[in-house]
Amino acid sequence: MHDDKDTPPAPPLFTWEFAADPYPAYAWLREHAPVHRTALPSGVEAWLVTRYADARQALADQRLSKNPAHHSESAHGKGKVGIPGERSANLMTHLLNIDPPDHTRLRRLVSKAFTPRRVAEFAPRVQELTDQLIDAFIDKGEADLIHEFAFPLPIYAICDLLGVPREDQDDFRDWAGMMIRHGGGPRGGVARSVKKMRGYLAELIHRKREELGEGGDDDLISGLIRASDHGEHLTENEAAAMAFILLFAGFETTVNLIGNGVYALLRNPGERERLQRALAEGDESLLATGVEELLRYDGPVELATWRFATEPITLGGQRIAAGDPVLVVLAAADRDPERFAEPDTLDLSRRDNQHLGYGHGIHYCLGAPLARLEGQAALATLLRRLPDLRLAADPEELRWRGGLIMRGLRTLPVEFAPRIR
Ligand code: HEM
């Protein structure tokens, strides 16, 4: 395999060039070293899984734990895996860090509050937010779609859904801004923002619990407090960790779904025109398959979150020792030619598209209905209201964020003919 004499050496990973276009390196790994041990920029060593079949198997394998205590380096690698600042903010008990039976219990409880119906009822508010954000820049003829559109939309949406009062939502915008700006860089500011958000949520949960039953409590946090399973409720600590993970998991992902999605459409004018025409004719079916295809083609979650082998396992013919971290590269699996016809082509009407952009198995994205709602509303509204939208920068000049898990642009400058609101 990768140590054969005839095989060229592995391409460099985690450089700026790699961040701009990781797909050639992933194609190499899929072919020559599908389960590949590498040192990450943090110094931690992990296995990268790049083939679709192996990726799907790993995501569903219960011998791969989500609990960082299983990491063989957990004693001295403290703080290097997981969400920056989560230990100090007492946030370790959230869905992406735990295994069954705790995961099963918490997921069942949150699913009772975060229902597809609650999300569907939220659609008019998402549309209103989308229009308000576009109203704010439509008369300028230019915008940075990341900062003025993709970034605020999910923050305000999730705050509304959780029941964070409107007057406090700009604080969240600031804390989230700190997290997204420094996602791959210095950690101090991120940890501080995580702590502030956690503190705010703890207080809000406490207040909402006291006020339960007094009316005006039809929000997700009140739903989380009320949800019970065989008489069991979430503790305030579990509810705070849950609210936090909903924010954390649902924010940058959606920013990047919109950012990467618009960028891919602007780089594929034929597909963009097709979608624009369908929308103009009132046909929304291409929008639905299109958003799924954008998730497959250049999705927001490049690598699934950390997993740790609880016992020695064999994956794709490779032996993995107990305690070793395993990172499933969703972006590589979703371009695997063994699974997808012409994987490097964007085809908005792709039907056979069981992509892994939302993960697979018991940790499958809980927020997928909300992400779809926001993604579809954002793209359709942009294309309808700004039909002449175009990139205002050379693609070579655009910078991608350097973080490990997420894939997204730092800025997305666009221009269009200015319009009156
Ligand atoms: C386009 C946007 C999104 C993408 C691509 C996405 C992707 C993912 C992926 C890949 C996972 C599994 C991670 C793993 O197994 O390591 C996941 C889990 C999760 N996502 Fe999303 N997500 C998105 C939006 C959201 C939103 C809007 C929310 C909530 C508001 C959300 C909440 C969650 C939660 C709570 C989990 C953990 C589920 C569990 O462990 O049981 N996500 N997401």
Q: Can you say whether the dihedral through the CA atoms of 162, 165, 168, 170 is positive or negative?
A: positive
Answer with the residue of higher pLDDT: 42 or 274. Answer: 274
Half-sphere exposure of 332 (CA within 13 A, CB side): 29
pLDDT, one tens digit per residue, over 218-236 is: 899 998 888 876 677 888 8
Residues 6+ apart with CB under 8 A from 280: 384
Q: pTM to 2 decimals? A: 0.94
Half-sphere exposure of 162 (CA within 13 A, CB side): 30
- 334 C-alpha to center of ligand 1: Å? 16
SS3 at position 254:
helix
Ligand 1 pocket, residue 82 CB under 6 Å: no
The average pLDDT across 295-320 equals 97
pLDDT, one tens digit per residue, over 60-96 is: 999 999 998 898 876 545 556 766 666 666 666 789 9
- At 218 the pLDDT is 82
CA-nearest residue for atom 13, ligand 1, is: 304
- At 169 the pLDDT is 93
Ligand 1 pocket, residue 367 CB under 6 Å: yes
* Domains of the chain with CATH codes: 16-415 (1.10.630.10)
Average model confidence (pLDDT) for the chain? 90
Answer with the residue of higher pLDDT: 3 or 420. Answer: 420
Ligand 1 pocket, residue 356 CB under 6 Å: no
The average pLDDT across 289-293 equals 98
CB 136 within 8 A of CB 385: no
The average pLDDT across 372-384 equals 98
Q: What are the tokens at 18?
A: 């790699």
CB 330 within 8 A of CB 359: yes
The CA distance from 407 to 231, in Å, is 41
Ligand 1 pocket, residue 363 CB under 6 Å: yes
CA-nearest residue for atom 17, ligand 1, is: 365
Atom index in ligand 1 nearest the CA of residue 300 equals 5
- pLDDT tier at 188 (50, 70, 90 boundaries)? low
Q: Please check the confidence at residue 192 and state whether its pLDDT lies above 90.
A: no
DSSP secondary structure string for all residues of 38-100: EE-TTS-EEEEE-SHHHHHHHHH-TTEE--GGG-TTTTTSTTSSSSTTTTTTT---SGGG--T
